[in-house]
Amino acid sequence: MILLLNTRATKAKNRRFPLSLLALAAALPKGVRWEILDGNLENADPAAEAAAIISARAGTSDPVRMVGMTVMPGPQLLSAVPVARALKECFPDVPIVWGGYFPSLYAAPVLRASYVDYLVRGQGERTLLDLLGVLAGRVDPASVAGLGWKDGEEPRLNPERIWEGPDAFPHVPWRRVDVPTYLRPSALGERSGVYQASIGCPYTCNFCGVIGAFGSREKFASPARTEADLALLAGRHGMDAVHFYDNNFFLREDHAVELCERIAPLGIKWWAEARIDAMLRFSDATWRTIRRAGLTMAYFGAESGSNERLKKMSKNLTIEQTLALAAKTKEHGIFPEFSFMFGDPDDPEDDVATNLAFIEKLAAVNPDLKLITYFYTPTPQRRGTYGNVDPLSATPATLEEWTTPEWLGWMTHEDPHVPWLPRRLKERVEDFARRLKGGLVPADSQAYGHLREAV
């Protein structure tokens, strides 16, 4: 018996399918029993639920062999630590395994924790299968790619595993979760779900945790596979909207056209994250196909109003392209979300001023834009750093320190305590975002200057 825990990451009203754990469960061999415990459900208590199952199955022919926990930075880490600690205290012989973004990025503090026995780095399906062999004593942990483990008290981190695309694994076992409870109201529909049609991202933005954790690579599911899953959710369960969790939804134009032609008959509205330059390469005919397929809102990483800073970020984008994309979304009736990263360590004052001025120009091109703001905090990278900040120099050595309010703000990029970004600059950005949301950013160039002085 394998327990897969999705500890609380959001309010119950915002709960979504535990896609990562469903993907792991789908890859388990036939005959291996498993259960997903989701801490985001109403009145859920994954620690108590797991403890009850472990106790009930102790001494049977199929006891709980491991507890696997998916852990994202931020609120989920905050809830995962006490759950893992409590389970290890009560059941010291049951292995606790962490996977997901946090252990992939910050393996050292995870392996230092006495209540975590193993971690899985990167894509986890094959590593989990090999780990079952390790737990059964048939496989040497040193031979398992993607595995972090302990040689006595000494942490070990094995080389990463070569990725496989979604088509290499079985479809998500939707029948094993209460699908209707995960279809929640959103801006797109009354019964919105989530889905992921690819893994990874092929770009090189050097501030991004995705690249830090997994490198610059992406594997897409076939359009037929995505169509089949969405058709099941829409036809059998009435899903009328979907948020795609892909880090980058559009890459090749032919793939985009085939996928959109397949899902258009489903009549669902959807949101996706896309690259500005990639979509600018698409023809108007492809844009019309995408819009007919239901794309209603798209998230674009604009990140900066300075070409110099975009180059430093390894964004491989220009502000002129961002302006052109804003015009294209307006032309085709797609609502754009633009994210911006504030707080260049080399000159935060100029960075904030430049970004705000550029966002005003974007709002003039497409007044329907939504602004997503982040404050820069360093992320471990495979190559180089952003600006003159060493991203590994001051991150916590223990999970207990990671869960303090200071580091929670750092992980979420919402209120990081970094020496180069004073509170007044954060407030300036926050005030501007409130003004923009309220429609107070004026559309004429003369008023831009007055607004900049006020903000």
For 119-154, write each residue's pLDDT tens digit. 999 999 999 999 999 999 999 999 999 999 999 889
Kindly tell me if the per-residue pLDDT of 447 is higher than 60.
Answer: no
Q: What is the mean pLDDT of the segment spanning 304-329?
A: 96
141 or 379, which is more confident?
141
Radius of gyration of the chain (CA): 23
Q: Which of 118-122, 401-405, 443-447 has the highest average model confidence (pLDDT)?
A: 118-122
- 391 neighbors 381 (Cβ within 8 angstroms): yes
User: Is the pTM above the cut of 0.85?
Assistant: yes
Strand boundaries in 183-232, DSSP class E: 192-195, 198-201, 217-220
Q: In CATH, what number does 2-157 get? A: 3.40.50.2300
The distance of Cα 64 from the centroid of its chain, to the nearest Å, equals 29
Strand boundaries in 64-221, DSSP class E: 66-70, 96-99, 118-120, 147-151, 154-157, 192-195, 198-201, 217-220
Q: What is the CATH number of domain 183-454?
A: 3.20.20.70
65 has pLDDT over 70? yes
- Read off the pLDDT of residues 113-122 as tens digits, 9 standing for 90 and up: 999 999 999 9
- What is the residue extent of each domain of the chain? 2-157, 183-454
In the prediction, which pLDDT does 213 show?
A: 64
When the pLDDT of each residue in the chain is averaged and rounded to a whole number, the result is 90
How many other CB atoms are there within 10 angstroms of residue 55's CB atom? 12
Whether the predicted pLDDT of 451 surpasses 60: no
pLDDT band at 209 (very low <50, low <70, confident <90, very high): low
